[in-house]
Amino acid sequence: MVVKVFLVMCFGVAVGADKLQTLSYAAPQQSSEESYESSEAKYDFSYAVKDDSSGNHFGHQENRDNDNTKGSYYVQLPDGRLQTVTYYVDGDSGYVVEVTYQGEARYPESSESSESSEAGGYDPRRSTYG
């Protein structure tokens, strides 16, 4: 009985191996026009988040047509300003960026006790250079 099972298994492996030898794999064939079109990059996207309960306010938009890319992103900074980064890439010109800020930086009045000051809390007014 064991011999019969073994012979059936060997036969199955032989048939499967024969079918594998007849299969061939190759890259899909495309015309030269199709391959050129598929290499072009062209897209538009954007997203935005504004959640007043958490204070999150940020977004991003970009569009691209071949080597020409333009976009911007923005984020609400912890000091209350809105930072906006506008950029473009036009062929070989590289990545050109302009950063702007809207609003004025605001810092909360410090009501820290001496214990919390010793703990190393962040206070942007504390730093002086010079």
Is residue 91 within 8 Å of residue 68, measured between CB atoms?
A: yes
At residue 26, the pLDDT reads 74
At residue 103, the pLDDT reads 93
Percent of the chain with pLDDT over 90: 35
Q: Dihedral, CA atoms, 13, 15, 17, 21, nearest 10 degrees? A: 180
What are the sequence ranges of the domains in the chain? 40-107
What confidence tier does 101 reach under pLDDT thresholds 50, 70, 90? very high
What confidence tier does 119 reach under pLDDT thresholds 50, 70, 90? low
At residue 121, the pLDDT reads 60
Q: How large is the average pLDDT for residues 60-83?
A: 93
Q: Is 128 exposed, middle or buried (0-12, 13-18, 19+ CB in 10 A)?
A: exposed
Q: From residue 31, how far is each of 14, 37, 40, 73 by CA, in Å?
A: 39, 10, 15, 38
Residues in the chain: 130
Worst-scoring range by mean pLDDT, 23-27, 82-86, 98-102?
23-27
In this model, does residue 72 exceed pLDDT 90? yes
In this model, does residue 35 exceed pLDDT 70? no
How many angstroms separate the CA atoms of 31 and 15, rounded?
37
Overall pTM surpassing 0.85 (yes/no) = no
